[in-house]
Amino acid sequence: MKKAAGIAVGVVVVVGALATVGAWYTGSQVEGVLQNAVANANQQFATSLVGADGRPMLHLELVSVDRQLFSSTAHLRLQMHSKEFLGDDQPAEFLFVDHIDHGPLPLSRLKSLKLMPVMVSNNVALEPSPSSAAWFAAAGNDSPFKAQLDVHYGGETSGTLDALPLKGDPATGGQSFSGLHSNLNVTANGEQYGLTGKMADLQLSLVNAQGVPVQFVVKDFTFNLGGKRGESGFYLGHNDATLGSLRVQMQGGLPFELQGMKTTSLAQEVGGALAGEMGYDVASTSLGGTPLGQWRMLFKFGQFDVQSSKSLYQLLQTKVMPQQRAAAAAGVPFRLQLDDADQQRMKTDLSRFLAAKPHMELQELTLKTANGEGRVNLSVDLAPAPLSSTTVAPAYGPSIVGAVDAKVVLSKAMLSDLGTTQARLQGATDPAAIARQGTDFSNMVSGLAVMMQLGKVDGDNVVSELHYAAGMVDFNGQRMTAAKFIGSVLGRVGAVGARPAP
């Protein structure tokens, strides 16, 4: 027994000694690791978050590091430069403190009975500053944001991110927030990540660009994000989110509400090309309490050349979008200005991009009402085209469009439902009058489609179909050149749109 006890004590002493050595070694590396992390973050900001003035909207700074044997304390400063979000040219400043417990057995993990060794355990919290004062007040003077992140010896990071509940009165311009809890996992060098989270409710009162107060109420939001970085630099994989309900109320207007929204997306690389899809399902929508129907949308794309897509995206982020924001801020027309090298780069990338014959498809856009359904399908195939010798960027025009297929199917019952909805929104209460307006609306749309030769009646549906290839358009059985289609058929569409509402 004594021998066994002696061995146990010896093991404890050895483990303690190794932990002390490990903590010292880890502590000696902390500042360098933090500096690298800050530099990487600023590099991402410089390429992905550029403001109208061409500067990154965010900048992170390591203010100080106080290193001890078993722990360190780091202070960081995050500055936001964004007139679009802040309303003026003065940057917002947010301060963070990171209490770092050194591995291999950080004290904060031992307290939670987490005995697996890790390199460091980070405990991050937002600190008070003039820019965060309102958040602290709404959070009862507690830090409104906290994170606990463990860095493992393989380089991966795991932990939790928490936004604390905020208390305010949305009716007086404040906000009410239930808090948000999320779990994060990131592999070494950020090659793969997973982020899941949920929020019970959020209520906000804002003022739109026209100065009109708008209230937002969001309930039961969850998300499951993640992916693995591909050759293109984009993250590939599935992303999903659900929303229990969203209510938007503009002062003086009817409240809009949706229930049961689900979104999904998928990105992948196949044979050196990007492909993906995005889907949206909404169980119900209403305006002023009057049901509008169920919505579904599914968009797909494919055959996007990886290298040219990546290069064009970088050019968009670093050159196009900053100029576009600057023009919008100055209230002047946007005119893209590129030097000779960027012009040639854009021409080369666009030519390579089009050579892959990209495909885009609105596979489904559906509105389903109580008694019927309307559906839109659209697919576009792009085609290789010769370079144009414009002074700023290549202008390909219609020659890049290889093929277009489109179909619209509107059931008469769905059109009638829309007519009755319009009647109710206008204040009608007599059932017979409401039903009559529904029938009249359905007959009007059907009659206009036939009269203007924009569609045809097929049984209980109004149908319109278009196919384009090799410069020729087949529109509801009428074959014509693309120029004639644009001049005549689209002219009729404009005439219909210019008619006064009934």
pLDDT at 274 over 80: yes
14-57 pLDDT per residue, tens? 333 333 333 333 555 667 777 777 777 777 777 666 665 667 77
Which of the four pLDDT bands, split at 50, 70 and 90, describes residue 10? very low
Q: Cβ contacts of residue 139 below 8 Å, gap of 6+? A: 164, 165, 166, 167
pLDDT at 420 over 70: yes
**pLDDT higher at 363 or 69:** 363
H runs (alpha helix) in 357-470: 412-425, 431-451
Residue 48: predicted pLDDT: 64
Work out the burial of residue 418: count CB atoms within 10 Å of its CB; fewer than 13 is exposed, 13-18 middle, 19 or more buried.
Answer: buried
Q: What number of CA atoms fall less than 13 Å from residue 137's CA on the CB side? A: 10
Residue 124: predicted pLDDT: 86
Which one of 4-8, 190-194, 282-286 scores highest in mean pLDDT?
A: 282-286
**pLDDT higher at 246 or 398:** 246
Q: Are 298 and 276 in contact (CB under 8 A)?
A: no
Other beta carbons within 10 Å of 106 = 26
Residue 77: predicted pLDDT: 87
Picking from 321, 380, 319, the residue whose alpha carbon sits closest to that of residue 354 is: 380
131-170 pLDDT per residue, tens? 888 888 888 888 888 888 887 777 788 888 898 888 765 5
Residue 283: predicted pLDDT: 96
pTM for the model stands at: 0.79
State the average pLDDT for the chain.
Answer: 81
Spatial distance between the Cα atoms of 358 and 304, rounded to a whole number of angstroms = 5
353-390 pLDDT per residue, tens? 999 999 999 999 999 999 999 999 999 999 987 766 55
Other beta carbons within 10 Å of 197 = 19
E strand intervals along 338-460: 359-368, 373-382, 401-411, 456-458
Residue 22: predicted pLDDT: 37
Pair of tokens at residue 154: 């393989």
% pLDDT > 70, the chain: 80
Which of the four pLDDT bands, split at 50, 70 and 90, describes residue 500? very low
Please give the distance of CA 182 from its chain centroid, rounded to a whole number.
17
Task: Give the Cα-Cα-Cα angle 176, 177, 181 (nearest 5 degrees).
Answer: 175
264 phi/psi in degrees, rounded to 5: -140, 150
Spatial distance between the Cα atoms of 14 and 5, rounded to a whole number of angstroms = 14
Residue 82: predicted pLDDT: 62
Residue 470: predicted pLDDT: 87
H runs (alpha helix) in 164-224: none
Give the pairing type, strands 92-102 and 120-127.
antiparallel
Residue 20: predicted pLDDT: 34
Could you give the 3-state DSSP secondary structure of residue 383? coil
